[in-house]
A and B are shown apart, each in its own frame.
Chain A
Amino acid sequence: MTKCLLEINHLSKNYHTLNGEIMAISDLSLKVNEEEFVAIVGSSGCGKSTLLNILANLDSCSSGEIKYHKNNLKIGYMLQEDALFPWLTILDNALLGLKIAHEDTSENIAYVKKLLTTYGLKDFINKYPHELSGGMKQRVALIRTLAIKPDILLLDEPFSALDYQSRLAVSNDVYQIIKKEHKTVIMITHDIAEAISLASRVIVLSKRPAQIKNIYDINLDNPSNPINNRQDAKFSYYYEKIWKDLDINVI
């Protein structure tokens, strides 16, 4: 049975600048269930990052509310950049969130070490970020987020800093890790293919101010992993629909 974890009700957000007021989000409502992978797509500057910042408590909303259907719900935020600290080892980087929360107990450290080991970073625990490839760094960034055992993961275009090949490989990796750890995910992206191949539900946002334009439950014929999903018969069907929704003017 799916349980609702997070509920956004009539959320609006205005920005104030010297040149006037900008409405970034207007009356947005959304429910996210446990262990669901929701992708939010929208053209750049549509306010999707703002939405994620509000969910992560990095920004406040102008009106509306966010309801968490769990006490002390922990939020993990993964950014576009790996933002690893070059002067810390991979292990210390992965432990950063725990250290900030003063939860770097031996039990939690063991958990992080286990995650690093499981996801192919065992030999790099005492290495520094510059010794790792872009994809590995992104994996460390994910483990750093998972280390605090979040109930919900917010991914802000997590693969956009990578080149195309690593992007496919890393999104595959990250997907496997997230499914294995049974996490609920809200991911924002401007990449339609990425959204369809990873998510179970894709939410299309309109141009600014962001409103929900359409919601697609992704039901592929043979869902497997993100790379294979791109070959699915239904893939182009969703792609076309979302492309039309986004109404991107090339000229």
Chain B
Amino acid sequence: MSSEQKKYLRKIKVQKFKIISIQILIVVLFFIIWELSAKYGLINSFVFSQPSKIITTILNLIATHNLFNHIFTTLYEIIIAFSLGIVLGFIIAIILYEFPTLEKIVDPFLTMLNSLPKVALGPLIIILAGANIKSVIIMALLINLIVSIITIYNGFTTIDYHKIKLLKSFKATKKQILTNLIIPASYSTIISSLKLNISMSQIGVIMGEFLVSKEGLGYLIIYGTQVFNLSLVMSGILILIIISFILYKLVVALEHMLLKNRF
């Protein structure tokens, strides 16, 4: 390795280190400023809580209120809604692609459903599915499914016409075109839709938990609001931020893994 190359690699490393350090610094400073401003009365610690109180609350939650159960419930709901959204979205997108007339018929309805604020359907879902975990998952599914269908379907329609023509010239059946071209060609679109889907699933689950739940992080937040325990609310939000960040990173890592060796 030449010294110039070494210098270049060093430069990249230093740059990376700099960025991470500054990011960590921002987080630490944020909490310090928050703590101090609450302590010296610059902000109302009853409304905004403060980091030390949040830590006490979280420790308390772990000790007496089964915090991990709440986290597990929310995670479970997210994962179920996420998986269902991807699988159903994929299947429905294939059906729409294979039956263009059907696609034309349902297109305005899909657009309508997509633009409708799904939370408006909340009361209806609760009546239909009951005040339980099912309602939360259905809520999340409603939010992520339409987006999944539209993203995957759009991926299908952008496939190079020449490749379809080529397969037709080999007398390929519809099924062969689907398995040999449409699905592998949309592989990266499908993988990219995972990222969108995980965000949507989280929104849906928390929204569902706000509407109807007995446990979960959304439940903790809404309960904290009702009893005016803002430290509880802040703790819930903080844990949620960490979980959604980890989930997102996991999906990105999965995407990297699945898209490696793809061109």
The interface of chain A, by Cβ under 8 A from chain B, is 56-58, 75-77, 79-81, 83, 85-87, 96-97, 99-101, 128-130, 148
Contacts A79-B165, A80-B162; is A97 near B170 (CB within 8 Å)? yes
One of B166, B172, B184 near A83 (C-beta < 8 A): B166
Q: Does B3 contact A (CB under 8 A)?
A: no
Residues 214 to 263 of chain B near chain A (Cβ within 8 Å): 262-263
One of A57, A81, A87, A100 near B162 (C-beta < 8 A): A81
Complex contacts, B262 vs chain A, CB 8 Å = 86-87
Q: CA–CA, A57 to B168, complex, Å?
A: 9
Contact between A101 and B162 (Cβ–Cβ < 8 Å)?
no
Contact between A87 and B170 (Cβ–Cβ < 8 Å)?
no
Q: CA–CA, A83 to B160, complex, Å?
A: 8
Contact between B168 and A58 (Cβ–Cβ < 8 Å)?
yes
Interface SS of chain A: loop
Contact between A99 and B171 (Cβ–Cβ < 8 Å)?
no
CB distance from B162 to the nearest CB of A (A): 4
B168: nearest residue on chain A (CB-CB)?
A58
Complex contacts, A57 vs chain B, CB 8 Å = 169, 171
A-B contact pairs, 9 of them (CB 8 A): A57-B169, A79-B162, A85-B184, A85-B185, A86-B262, A96-B166, A96-B170, A101-B171, A130-B263
Contact between A99 and B168 (Cβ–Cβ < 8 Å)?
no
One of A56, A77, A85 near B181 (C-beta < 8 A): A85
A98: nearest residue on chain B (CB-CB)?
B170
Q: CA–CA, A97 to B171, complex, Å?
A: 9
Give the total of B residues in contact with A, Cβ under 8 Å. 19
Q: Does B176 contact A (CB under 8 A)?
A: yes
Q: Does B187 contact A (CB under 8 A)?
A: yes
Q: Does B180 contact A (CB under 8 A)?
A: yes
Q: Does B163 contact A (CB under 8 A)?
A: yes
Q: Does B167 contact A (CB under 8 A)?
A: yes
Q: CA–CA, A99 to B169, complex, Å?
A: 13
Complex contacts, B160 vs chain A, CB 8 Å = 81, 83
Contact between B263 and A100 (Cβ–Cβ < 8 Å)?
no
Contact with A along B154-178 (1 / 0, CB 8 A): 0000001011011111111000100
Complex contacts, A76 vs chain B, CB 8 Å = 169
Of A85, A129, A130, A148, most buried by chain B (CB within 10 Å of CB) is A85
Complex contacts, A129 vs chain B, CB 8 Å = 263
Complex contacts, B170 vs chain A, CB 8 Å = 96-97, 100-101, 148
Q: CA–CA, A77 to B160, complex, Å?
A: 17
Q: CA–CA, A248 to B224, complex, Å?
A: 80
Given contacts A76-B169, A85-B184, could you give 11 more A-B pairs where the C-beta distance is less than 8 Å? A56-B169, A75-B169, A79-B165, A83-B163, A85-B163, A85-B180, A85-B181, A87-B185, A100-B171, A100-B176, A130-B263
Complex contacts, B168 vs chain A, CB 8 Å = 58
One of B165, B167, B172, B187 near A87 (C-beta < 8 A): B187
One of A75, A81, A100, A130 near B167 (C-beta < 8 A): A100
Of A58, A81, A100, most buried by chain B (CB within 10 Å of CB) is A100
Complex contacts, B169 vs chain A, CB 8 Å = 56-58, 75-77, 79
Complex contacts, A85 vs chain B, CB 8 Å = 163, 180-181, 184-185
Contact between A86 and B263 (Cβ–Cβ < 8 Å)?
yes
A129: nearest residue on chain B (CB-CB)?
B263
Nearest 3 interchain pairs by C-beta: A77-B169, A100-B170, A97-B170
